[in-house]
Homo-oligomer: A and B are copies of this chain.
Amino acid sequence: MAKKKFDREQILSFLELIEAITLTESYQKTLEKLLEKTAEVLDVQQGCILLANPKNSEELVIECAFEQKARPKGHRINLTLTAHPNLYKAIFQNAVFVRKGGPEEDVEQVLYIRLQTEEFLGVMVFGAKGEKKEFNPDDILIAQAISHLAIASIQHGRIIEKNERLKTIISERMSLADEIRNPLMSAGGFAKRAFEKLNSGESGIDPKILEYLKRALKNYQRVENLLGELLKTK
């Protein structure tokens, strides 16, 4: 089956794919670009990347879809695959599998490539139709290499998202800590005034002193509440 040499055009467009995805700036754009370029490399006219919902790995959601004729680039739809148990089982059992005929009548073959690390990330799907009748062994080899690039892109995107979440945590905590400043200064100020009054040597207790201390204590309470908020587990 295997040819002695790889088709030059196919490899060149595969090399182009690699360049294209390392130059895109956002996670979403990277996957769209990867899908679009894979369609070129495999010479197919439709494809999509389905990602497992991290909260429910039984559910697959279309992350991006590409169909040269019917859908505009980057068109997004949501779809669960749990309604198709046989397909779902096949994806879980096979790193790569090809089935005859697709969801549409004119699709000759459908190629599924599982995206798998320690966890199941999702699946890439491509349909052969029109002039493209089948996926040959070289298509499948290259599609598998592309699936590794997809995995790397997904992982990179997730790390970037995590990064953004950490930055948000820092900025939220910092603004909480900043809110502590005012009541703290206020509490300290009132306590200081109470002390000075008492320390001035006047006999008898000025009722203002009690008022100052009341306010100091009220502000303490606020500082404590804010600190409790700040220290809450992330």
Contact = CB atoms under 8 A, between A and B. Distances in A.
Interface stretch (A41-49, A126-134, A169-177): A169-177
Interface string A146-175: 001101100110011011001101100110
Nearest to A165: B166
Given A5-B7, A151-B22, A15 B141 contact: yes
Given A5-B8, A180-B227, A205-B205, A170 B160 contact: no
Given A159-B159, A198-B205, A184 B220 contact: yes
Interface in A213-233: 213-214, 216-217, 220-221, 223-224, 227, 230-231
Contact of A152 (B22, B170, B221): B22
Contacts of A203: 204-205
A3 interface: yes
Interface of A: 2-8, 11-12, 15, 18-19, 21-23, 117, 141-142, 144-145, 148-149, 151-152, 155-156, 159-160, 162-163, 166-167, 169-170, 173-174, 177-178, 180-181, 184-185, 187-188, 191-192, 194-195, 198-199, 203-205, 209-210, 213-214, 216-217, 220-221, 223-224, 227, 230-231, 234
Contact of A198 (B145, B177, B210): B210
A195 B217 contact: yes
A209 B161 CA distance: 54
A142 B180 contact: no
A209 B197 CA distance: 12
Given A19-B148, A191-B220, A170 B166 contact: yes
Nearest to A30: B152
Nearest to A223: B184
B145 A15 contact: yes
A121 to B, nearest CB: 11
A94 to B, nearest CB: 17
